Structure 1
Amino acid sequence: MGRNTSQDGHRPLRSAALTSVLAVGVVGAIATAGVLTVQLRDPGRPRTRPVALAAPATPTPTPSPSPSPTPSPTAVPTPTAAPASAPAAVRQDAPVTAPTLQAPPSAPPEAVPGTTATAPDNAESRRVGALFAGPTGPGNHFCTASVIDSPGRNLILTAAHCLSDAAGTTFVPGYRDGRAPYGSWRVTKVYTADGWRNGGDPDEDFAVLAVAPNDGQQIEDVLGGNPLGTTASWTAEARLYGYPAGSELPILCTNTTSRQDTYQRRIDCPSFPGGTSGGPFVDTATGQVIGVIGGYQQGGDTDDTSYSAAFDHTVAELLAAAG
């Protein structure tokens, strides 16, 4: 089943899911043969470094007087002072500051391949929005769409299984938590390919929607539009966007796509439930839209794998016809 929510005129969905300063401390000092060994302590790395010291001066004895009936005490030698240039008995090095290592910044969750997270608010994500069947607000959105570059600057792209006519449908780009920061745009016309109209061909499960101007501006003039890509590699890396029916925020996952069959592209991204149908696959290398959630099994029968009908000349011709 597809990933639009249950609405009148829409297909039912499957259910929603998702240094330190180096401590220069004297440990011990042992003088042996004029060499003093100083034990320094560095956390995790003890080491021994020899420090040469000058040998202390040897005192010169004073000769004893000739023996006499009354012995005289031996004169006490006067010690010779150490040269002024002699080093101190213990030398302490200047403190050494160990470099502070910083871990590289973590990648945002949505940039980790195969991880789904709330989409950041940026120029690309603002072109993605929710389709509403009633007033803009929680519980009324049923599918996802995105602004596509076109000559008339008034077109959006979604899955064909999301809707069959424009009546009562609005598109809210950049929708978050009940707010429509870039306005609400009324859908005026739905364009689908012949194969879909005449038999629901899953290989043509894409639709172009025209929207009316808002305050005298076309939607692409306000937000820009993603170019359409029809020659992307089957193994392109793509950012996948969607609005889950039970959430008021868009989600995003990045992963490498693969070929499901002749005319179907696949991507493995967790927790893309009902409401995400029509969400765009945006090629990370080119910024082109190379698919929308739909096609095989109307987008997939599990929340963790999504599909898209292949974008080739058919979708290019549909976009040209919509103008």
Structure 2
Amino acid sequence: MIPRTLPLPRAAGRARARTGRPVRIALALAAMAALLSVDAPDATARTPLGVTAWALPGAVADRVGPLFAGGLAGGHFCTAAVVRSAGRDVIATAAHCLDSPGTTLFAPGYREGAAPYGAWRLTGVYVSPAWTDGEDPDADIAFATVAPVGGGEHAAVEDAVEDAVGGFPVKGGQVDRAAVTVVGYPRDRDAPLRCANGTDLVSATQRRIGCPDLSGGTSGSPWLVDGALTGVLGGHEGGGTVPEVSYSAVLGDGAVQLYRRAAGTG
């Protein structure tokens, strides 16, 4: 039985947003393909806990994509995921990933230079005043509306991103020690990684997971519980200062209200 307890963080290294590390892939692609072939939001839950592997294309990974600065040739710096909304046009990420929304592009399902569902520009940003006024780590979650980039090599086929890839439901009020799946893009990799493990609360407002190789670029990665987004990689220490331990702010009432504003449901 794989222990669900988490390692204590080592001495702080460089900030996550500035860190990259080679990835140790522990599962063969063929074994993962069988698990990800089912079109279900939590189809990867049966893989070993605490193991980081490639996230193969499918209903989960295709809803996740990297954020690019200016264009897809410029390198990616954070991760975001499509969530359900009335306008079918909302993504979730970490608030610290949206410093320059006017030049940020989102590419769901991006792999090895290909954007199968096109590139999407940000049209609106929803961030808590607690973040904009003081960068409160408990408010390090944000939502944004997106629209397709017209024309060119990376043009989207659909008019709404949720029509292209679907979207994760958003759920607050997590229980302690919830089993979480994280999917994200390290900045030195052009395909997503995934890891599932048990979590624990390090405070009433911050949750921790032990997963190797979630290095710089994975900020904003969705934390999924039973197929629903319950947080994003960020919060305490900007999401963590070592790739082996990551954090997420607990999705409290304020964050749920922020999501409802972005989604047009509240």
In 1, the alpha carbon distance for the partners of 2:179 and 2:222 equals: 13
Counterpart residue number, 1:191: 126
Which one of 184, 206, 215 corresponds to residue 264 of structure 1? 206
Distance 1:165 1:134, change over 3 A: closer
Q: Give the aligned residue type for 2:78.
A: C
In 1, the alpha carbon distance for the partners of 2:31 and 2:252 equals: 33
**Could you say what secondary structure the match of 1:230 adopts?**
coil
State percent identity of aligned pairs.
Answer: 43
Counterpart residue number, 1:239: 181
In 2, the alpha carbon distance for the partners of 1:292 and 1:164 equals: 16
Structure 1 residue 215: deviation in Å? 5.0
**1:200-219 correspondence to structure 2 within 5 Å:** 200-213=135-148, 214-215=156-157, 217-219=159-161
In 1, the alpha carbon distance for the partners of 2:16 and 2:94 equals: 10
**2:255 paired with 1:312:** no
**1:1-323 correspondence to structure 2 within 5 Å:** 2-4=15-17, 13-18=18-23, 108=32, 111-137=47-73, 140-213=75-148, 214-215=156-157, 217-283=159-225, 286-322=226-262, 323=264
Structure 1 residue 306: deviation in Å? 0.4
Q: Give the aligned residue type for 2:59.
A: A
Q: Give the aligned residue type for 1:3.
A: R
Task: Give the TM-score, by structure 1 length.
Answer: 0.66
Structure 1 residue 305: deviation in Å? 0.4
In 2, the alpha carbon distance for the partners of 1:235 and 1:278 equals: 21
In 2, the alpha carbon distance for the partners of 1:222 and 1:216 equals: 6
In 2, the alpha carbon distance for the partners of 1:288 and 1:2 equals: 28
**Could you say what secondary structure the match of 1:173 adopts?**
coil
**Could you say what secondary structure the match of 1:178 adopts?**
coil
Contact 2:141 2:234 in 1 (8 A): yes
Contact 2:20 2:188 in 1 (8 A): no
Deviations 1:28-52 (A, max 9, x none): xxxxxxxxxxxxxxxxxxxxxxxxx
In 1, the alpha carbon distance for the partners of 2:99 and 2:123 equals: 12
Q: Give the aligned residue type for 2:93.
A: T
Structure 2 segments unaligned to the other structure (5+ residues): 1-13, 24-29, 36-43, 149-155
In 2, the alpha carbon distance for the partners of 1:135 and 1:145 equals: 16
**Could you say what secondary structure the match of 2:77 adopts?**
strand
Task: Give the TM-score, by structure 2 length.
Answer: 0.80
In 1, the alpha carbon distance for the partners of 2:70 and 2:145 equals: 18
Structure 1 residue 152: deviation in Å? 1.5
Q: Give the aligned residue type for 2:16.
A: R
Structure 1 segments unaligned to the other structure (5+ residues): 5-12, 19-105
Structure 1 residue 269: deviation in Å? 0.3
Deviations 1:61-98 (A, max 9, x none): xxxxxxxxxxxxxxxxxxxxxxxxxxxxxxxxxxxxxx
> Which protein shows a greater Rg?
1
Structure number with higher relative contact order (C-alpha < 8 Å, ≥ 6 residues apart): 2
Structure 1 residue 312: deviation in Å? 1.4
